[in-house]
Structure 1
Amino acid sequence: MSAPLIAETRRRAIALLRHPARAVALAFAAATLLGTFLLTMPIASASGAATDPFTALFTAVSAVCVTGLVVVDTAGHWSTFGEVVILGLIQVGGFGIMTLASLLILLVSRRIGLRMQMTAQAETKALGLGEVRKVLLGVIITSLLVEAVIAVFLIARFATGYDKSFGQAVYHGVFHAVSAFNNAGFALYPDSIVRFATDPFICVPLMIATITGGLGFPVLLELARRRKRRGKRWSLHTKITIPVYFGLLVFGAGAFLAFEWGNPTTLGPMGTLDKILIGFFHSVQPRTAGFNSIDMAQVHPSTLLLNDVLMFIGGGSAGTAGGIKVTTFALLGWVMLAEIRGEPTVHIMGRKLAGEVQRQALTVALLGVGAVMAGTIVLLSITPFRLDDVLFEATSAFATVGMSTGITAQLPVAGQVVLVVLMFMGRLGPITLASALALRERARRYELPEERPIVG
């Protein structure tokens, strides 16, 4: 390789490091294009015919963005090769988002770039850029360990409870364990998990995998370190994420059960314990795994709206979940509380919240609202479907959930393009936007005269 070419390569690498959002987007775009190419191959379809490029693209984006929305039945349309490609894309997407998000936390934790200083700490005050290898290994080991444990339980259940051969049980167990931990929501059954709705030996492992992946690697890492160092205090990030995440889980289960308890097309005919299992399952899945154990087209409009809220909030930062993240939601709640009380600053759990963090949370949330509303308006204008269904679909795509009322495959190509854009924005947007806002922060050289417009 010539010296000018080496210099140009180095220059471009440095440019990418200076703009991490661009590097993240390019990495996911490359994985999507590769997945699209593989899924268009005749060997990837069950019929042996080549899949049209757009169907392959939609499926690849949904898999890489760990969403789960589909325009064709996963088990019916794709061959074993195609399903393995999808599984690989899910794994790459999950690894990628956890790793890249964790490294971006390192990069922006003190609002400095790599070019300015080569030692930064994460929110836990324990991670430095010199530990990048540990972060990468930690993400990989955590992911594979959780997936393996969940797969063992699922394999045992599929083999003993559903008369599957050992090979089929292993394949189905591994596929759904990977899909659940990465919050992808892809299932090898046309009705998702409906046939297992009352089976706790299937639903509970899937819920545990979803929660573990959705909490985020920084929280999992800190919990693991706390077990070794019992005297160490939790970081503010962990102290916010855990109670808010599980608080929303309990709230979601209670509201879901209240809305659907007597619905004759969903929970009505079932026993009490089965209802409770389904209620908690459907509180976990919108956070954002996307499996469903009842037909979402049959739920009440109030339940759809509840799911819209849970999907939009999502899970923990630097995890496999989507949405604006529970920390963003919680921070905005504390900001509102401080304003209502008339307090000049925001205090959270013994810490003062920086003004720039408040602005970043507000920006991420409002841009998320804008993306969902824009997608909903476009879909309403080009399809005959109800607002309830269209809003649910747009929110599911942006929050990378994958739940649907069944209209995804019925949308025109233009509508499916809208979902592709929302999936890509929702997967990369909150992470890259937050890091870009932090990295671009700079001191203002002067201030203009203050004036207060009327609010409200």
Structure 2
Amino acid sequence: MARPVIPAAIAHPVRLLPLSFFALILLGTGLLLLPFARSGVNSPDFMAAFFTSTSAVTVTGLASVDTSTYWSPAGQGIILVLVEIGGLGIVALATVLGLFIGGRLGLRTRLVAQTDMHVVSLGEVKPLFRRVAVVMLSFQAVIAAVLAIRYRATYFDTWGTSLWHGVFDAVMAFNNAGFSLHPDSLTRYAGDWLIIVPICIGVFFGAVGFPVLAELFSGWRKPSKWTIHTRLTVWGSIFLLVVGALVFLALEWSNDATLGTLAWDHKLVSGLEGGIMPRSGGLNSFDWGSVRPETQSFATVLMFIGGGSASTAGGIKVTTFLLLAYVILAELRGDPQVTIGVRAISSAVVRTAVTIALISVMLVGVATWTLMLLSDVSFEDALFECTSAFATVGLSTGLTFDLNVASQVVIIVLMFIGRVGTITAASAFILRRRAPRYTVPEEQPIIG
């Protein structure tokens, strides 16, 4: 039988990646519209299914309906599967299955996988995906076991319920998705370090990025031999975690609406959560609608930065943020090259980082302005919601439930672009087929 021919217009990996994610979103929407996916009292709602499917595939976690009551256990299971596939990536999952079943990869599959996972050479794709599958499932299994034991010991009467909640929360944590089986997310577990800490660990390592996890898997004891990418991601993530937790604790320590009424040790646990979740986690044990304005604005910055490249996290990525800092430092020093340690960063990488940052600012800015026009919301809440959607975080001040259809479309577009990547989404439509064969004379306009 002849193989189906993919049209040349969409065959390039840069275009095929977003189309693959969109196809999965449509499939998830169709499954969620089936009668068994909803609780008996709820009627079919296309926008609820489409919004939820997009949020799940993009591993965001924002919800226009209450996940715990609107969707049946079967519907919640569909959401879990969509999050799992979206977290690993459609192409990555297909590649891993191909490794275990056939043991071979086609050139086109490797190219698509290379685009999704941001690996440098085609030779890295096959061993990377094998490690991704093992590491991802291992992390989730350990976290699920710890959570299930705690749930059974303290919160639930049966092992079945405890295991289901443990598996669901573990998958959401590692994939950095904010869906929860409770209408108040993790609020009922506030201060319980046996619940919050394992979930935070899952979120942190899920947001580090698959290439970094693969490198740490083989050489975590030799930081001096880490690549620049791994160094930036690991040390940058730890730095943002510490700063985020300290700032959150300082601002919310006496706020009775969040941490003020908790014991000091419970405050520390919630502080850890406050430093990790805005980076892309989305789960919360306190009401983000009650935090101080200073905390909300700081969390918005953390969300915009996001996690590691080729991870389940969103945002412009911590490597992009730190690289831009090195660009500014080099410019202030008058250095002809941007250097990190003993390595120079190519101008192409610098241009990509600047492009990602500027496109991201533009998208979030336009979406915030549009949301304010379409809905009666303040600038701060609109910016927080749009940044959370673009960075695929899933945190909300409670605004998502009240958005009209047009505003939900804005959030859906942001979640989709945030998952497939600003460069990938833009390049999918303006991709050049050939490089220019000539250069033009240079001119230097006045800057600043």
State the one-letter code of the partner of 1:67.
T
| 2:296 aligned partner | 304
Q: C-alpha distance in 2, partners of 1:97/1:301?
A: 38
For residue 229 of structure 2, the aligned residue among 234, 237, 243 is 237
- Do the aligned partners of 2:308 and 2:317 also contact (CA within 8 Å) in 1? yes
Distance 1:431 1:147, change over 3 A: farther
Alpha-carbon shift at residue 15 of structure 1 (Å): 6.1
Corresponding residue of 1:199: 192
Aligned letter for 1:286? P
Please tell me whether the aligned partners of residues 144 and 169 of structure 2 are also in contact (alpha carbons under 8 angstroms). yes
The 5-angstrom pairing of residues 169-184 of structure 1 reads 169-184=162-177
1:79-124 C-alpha deviation (Å, 9 max, x unpaired):
1100000001000101117938999xxxxxxxxxx69x99x999x9
5+ residue gaps in structure 1? 104-113
CA separation of 1:101 and 1:397: change in aligned 2, threshold 3 A = farther
Answer whether contact 2:15 2:428 (CA < 8 A) is retained. no
Q: For residues 328 and 438 of structure 2, what CA distance do their matches in structure 1 show?
A: 28
By how many angstroms is 1:54 displaced?
0.9
Q: Sort the Cα spacing of 1:445 and 1:34 in 2 relative to 1 into closer, same or farther, 3 A.
A: closer
Q: Distance in 1 between matches of 2:94 and 2:248?
A: 31
Residue 270 (structure 1) shift: 2.0
Contact 2:307–2:314 (8 Å) recurs in 1? yes
In structure 2, C-alpha distance between the alignment counterparts of 1:390 and 1:127, rounded to whole Å: 37
1:162 paired with 2:155, answer yes
* Contact 1:183/1:289, CA 8 A, preserved across alignment: yes
Deviations 1:128-161 (A, max 9, x none): 5355443332222111110000000000000001
Give the whole-Å Cα distance in 2 for the aligned partners of 1:31 and 1:252: 34
Question: Is it true that 1:56 corresponds to 2:49 in the alignment?
Answer: yes
The equivalences for 1:244-255 within 5 A come to 244-255=236-247
1:108 corresponds to which residue? none
Distance 1:253 1:313, change over 3 A: same
Q: Tell me, yes or no, if the aligned pair for 1:97 and 1:319 is still in contact at 8 Å.
A: no
Partner of 1:428: 420
CA distance in 2 between partners of 1:359 and 1:164 (Å): 56
Confirm or deny that 1:345 pairs with 2:337: yes
Structure 2 contact 42–70 (Cα < 8 Å) conserved: no
Q: Which residue of 2 aligns with 1:413?
A: 405
Q: 1:299 to 1:176 in 2, by over 3 A?
A: same
CA RMSD of aligned residues (A): 2.9
- Which range is displaced more, 47-56 or 314-323? 47-56
C-alpha distance in 2, partners of 1:138/1:173?
23
In structure 2, runs of 5+ residues without a counterpart are 97-106
Is the counterpart of residue 455 in structure 1 residue 447 in structure 2? yes
Mean Cα displacement is larger for which, 316-325 or 42-51?
42-51
1:399, 1:307 → 2: CA distance? 12
Identical columns (%): 49
Contact 1:360 1:434 in 2 (8 A): no
1:239 and 1:176 map into 2 onto residues whose CA distance is 29
When residues 371 and 164 of structure 1 are mapped into structure 2, their CA distance, relative to the original with a 3 A threshold, is farther
**Distance (whole Å) between structure 1 residues aligned to residue 281 and residue 291 of structure 2:** 18
Question: What corresponds to 2:269 in structure 1?
Answer: 277
Q: Deviations over 1:299-343 (max 9, x none)?
A: 111111111100011000111001110011011000001001111
Alpha-carbon distance in structure 2 between the residues aligned to 1:348 and 1:101 = 36
Structure-1 residue corresponding to 2:102 = none
Q: State how far apart, in whole Å, the 1-side matches of 2:253 and 2:224 are.
A: 43
Instruction: Single out whichever of 92-101 and 320-329 deviates more from structure 2.
Output: 92-101
What is residue 106 of structure 1 aligned with on the other side?
none
Alignment of 1:355 onto 2:347: yes
Which residue number corresponds to residue 109 of structure 1? none
Q: Secondary structure at the match of 1:396?
A: helix
TM-score of the aligned structures, taking structure 1 as reference length? 0.89
**Alignment partner of 1:37 is 2:30:** yes
Conservation of the 8 A alpha-carbon contact between 1:45 and 1:79: yes
Q: Distance in 2 between matches of 1:101 and 1:322?
A: 22
> Which of 202, 214, 219 is the aligned partner of 2:207?
214
Report the alpha carbon displacement of residue 45 of structure 1 after superposing the two structures with TM: 0.9
Alignment of 1:5-404 (within 5 A): 6=3, 9-10=4-5, 12=7, 16=10, 19-47=12-40, 49-96=42-89, 99=92, 129-130=122-123, 132-227=125-220, 233-404=225-396
Q: Tell me the equivalent position of 2:103.
A: none
TM-score if structure 2 supplies the norm length?
0.90
- The alpha-carbon deviation at position 164 of structure 1 amounts to 3.0
Aligned-partner Cα distance in 2 for 1:440–1:219: 30
- Deviation string, structure 1 residues 408-443 (Cα, Å, up to 9, x no partner): 010111001100011001111236259879x96976
| Equivalent residue pairs, number | 435
Q: What secondary structure, in the 3-state scheme, does the structure 2 residue paired with 1:352 have? A: strand
